[in-house]
Amino acid sequence: MKVAVLIKQTPDTAELPKVSPEEVRSGDVKATMVINPWDEYAAEEAIQLGDRFGASSVAISLGKEGETDALKHALAMGVNSALLVDVEAAREGDVWAVATALAAAVQHEGDVDVVLTGKMSVDGNSGAVYTGVACKLGWNLLVNVTKIVDIADGVVTAERSFEGGQETVTMPLPVVISVAKEINDPRYPSFMGIRKASRAKIPVLTAQELGLESIPRAVRWENLRKPEARHTEVQIIEGETVEEQAAKLVDALLAEKVI
C-alpha cells in the first residue's frame, strides 16, 4: 500500500497578521514559512499507516524550487520520501488549478491507494483542494476523518465528524482523506530525523513533465485588502466591588443590544 500526503508550506501562524495584500498578490510572502499546521496531522497519519499496514509514504508539495522546508519537516517526522511539484500555472490562488497539479503529481507517482491532507491551509483557508484532488483523480473522498479504523480488502473504515455528530463509514480505495485534529498527536521530528531530512535531495516535478504548462482558471482574486481595523478603544469597567463591576458591565451590554 502507498500513501501520498499533500503538504503545504504556509506562513508561521504568529506572522499571518503581518502579511500584506501586496505580498499575497505577488506570491512573494516574506513571513517565516513552515509546514501548514493542519498538514502535520496528515503526515503523522501517513507514518502511522506505515506502522499499521506496512504502507510506504510520500509527501507531495506544490511550490517553487527550493520551497522544501515543509517537505523536510514531513521527512524529519518519518515520511519515507518527498516530491516538490513546481507548476507555475497553479500558483494564482485558483483551487482547481492547485488540485489539477497535485492530482497529476499523485498520478505520476503511481500506485497510490490513499491520499491524506489536512483540513485546510492557514493561508488559503479554502478547505477545497482535497475535494478537487478527489474530483480530478475520480477517486472517493472522505472529509474530516477523526479515525482510520481499518484498511482491509481494498476498503477503508473510518470515523468522520460533522456538525450532526460522528459517523463510522466504509469507502472503497483509492480514496482521498482529509483529516481532523482529533485523529492523532503529531510527533516532533527527532534529532536524527532532522539530520537525515536536511541532507535529503528532494526531486522536483515540473509543469513540463506533467503536461501542465497552462491550466484553465475559474476565478480571479481582485481587490486584496486588509480588513478594516476594528475600534480597539477598550473601556475598562472599574468598581469598588466585583458586584458593582458586574452591574456596570451588564448595563453596558444591555445598552449595546447584544444580549
Partner 1 sequence: MSVLVWIEQIDGQAVHSSWEVLGKGRELADSLGSPLVALVVGHGVEAVAEEARGYGPDTVLLADDPALERFRLQPYAAALQEAIRRADASVILASATTNGRTLTGLVACQNQAGLAPDAVDLRIEEGKLVAVRSVYSGNILSDIYFDTDQQFASVRPRSFPAPEAGEAQGAIQPLPVPVDEGQVPEKILEVKPADTSEISLTDARIIVSGGRGVAKDPELGFKLVSELADVLGAAVGASRAAVDAGYIPYKHQVGQTGKTVKPDLYIAAGISGAIQHLAGMGQSKVIVAINKDPDAPIFERANYGIVGDLFQVLPALTKEFKKRLGKEEKE
Q: Which of residues 178-237 bind partner 1 (CB under 8 A)?
A: 181-182, 216-227, 230-232, 234-237
Residue 169 as a binder of partner 1 (CB under 8 A): the answer is yes
- Report if residue 131 touches partner 1, rule: CB under 8 A: yes
Cell of 244: 458593582
Interface of this chain with partner 1, residues 78 to 97, rule: CB under 8 A: 95-96
Which residues inside 94-113 make contact with partner 1, applying CB under 8 A?
95-96, 99
Interface pattern 4-43 for partner 1 (x via CB under 8 A): -------x-xx-xx-x-x--x------------xx-----
C-alpha to C-alpha distance for 176 and 113, rounded to whole angstroms: 9
Query: Nearest approach, Cβ of 182 to partner 1 (angstroms)?
Result: 6
152 forms part of the interface with partner 1 (CB under 8 A) = no
Nearest to 90 by CA among 176, 211, 174, 178: 211
**Cα–Cα distance, 32 to 28 (Å, whole number):** 12
Q: How far is the CB of 114 from partner 1 (least distance, A)?
A: 14
179/243 Cα distance (integer angstroms): 46
User: At closest approach, how far in Å is the CB of 116 from partner 1?
Assistant: 16
CB closer to partner 1, 83 vs 137: 137
Q: Considering only residues 172, 195, 203, 213, which one is a binding residue for partner 1 as defined by CB under 8 A?
A: 172
Minimum distance from residue 208 beta carbon to partner 1 (Å): 23
254 belongs to the binding site for partner 1 (CB under 8 A): yes
Q: How far is the CB of 102 from partner 1 (least distance, A)?
A: 13
- Which of 42-50, 107-115, 160-168, 191-199 is the region at the interface with partner 1 (rule: CB under 8 A)? 160-168
Q: Does 145 help bind partner 1 (rule: CB under 8 A)? A: no
Nearer to partner 1, 82 or 94 (CB): 94
Alpha-carbon dihedral angle through residues 21, 22, 23, 28, given to the nearest 10 degrees:
150
Whether the CB-CB separation of 63 and 86 falls below 8 Å is answered with yes
Q: Which residues of 179-212 are buried (b: 16+ CB within 10 A; e: fewer)?
A: bbeebbebeebeeebeeebeeeebeebebeebeb
Phi, psi of 70 (to 5 degrees): -65, -40
- The C-alpha cell 466591588 sits at 241
CB atoms near residue 174 (< 10 Å): 20
The grid coordinates of residue 96 equal 482547481
